[in-house]
Amino acid sequence: KAGVTQTPRYLIKTRGQQVTLSCSPISGHRSVSWYQQTPGQGLQFLFEYFSETQRNKGNFPGRFSGRQFSNSRSEMNVSTLELGDSALYLCASSLEIRETQYFGPGTRLLVL
């Protein structure tokens, strides 16, 4: 069974731009979560989706948003990029809520 896939793997943007990252969960998984990883703050939870509904949200500004489609694929969007948004963005999927999460390889975003 294929694992979690994330596209693109690498991305370079400039301040003020917006970006959309995509995540395809493991087949049959209905829950998708997003995390931001930076050297300074470590791994921080962004949001969780289940059956196209946001179930939980981390402490990030409204510039960070996401959605989940009927096939469980998910996207996250960051508008008005700031230098501090440079990070590895990780997507994880699980069968159901509170089941084990399996992570994708991440999208590395660099904001110049």
As a whole number of angstroms, the longest Cα–Cα distance in the chain is 38
Q: Which of 45, 64, 81, 109 binds other proteins (CB under 8 A)?
A: 45
Q: Which of 73, 79, 86, 102 binds other proteins (CB under 8 A)?
A: 102
Cβ proximity to other proteins, 12 vs 17, nearer residue: 12
Q: Is 71 left (phi over 0), alpha (psi -120 to 50) or beta?
A: alpha
Does position 33 interact with other proteins (CB under 8 A)? The reply is yes
Cβ proximity to other proteins, 31 vs 85, nearer residue: 31
Contact window for other proteins (CB under 8 A) among 17-25, 28-36, 64-72, 79-87: 28-36
Does position 14 interact with other proteins (CB under 8 A)? The reply is no
Q: Which residues pair with 54 in a beta bridge?
A: 49
Q: How many CB atoms lie within 10 A of CB 58?
A: 14
Does position 59 interact with other proteins (CB under 8 A)? The reply is no
Torsion angle, alpha carbons of 54, 56, 58, 62, to 10: 30
Alpha carbons 60 and 85: distance in angstroms, whole number: 11
Which residue ranges make up the site for other proteins (CB under 8 A)? 4, 31, 33, 35, 42-43, 45, 48, 55-56, 58, 90, 92, 94, 97-106
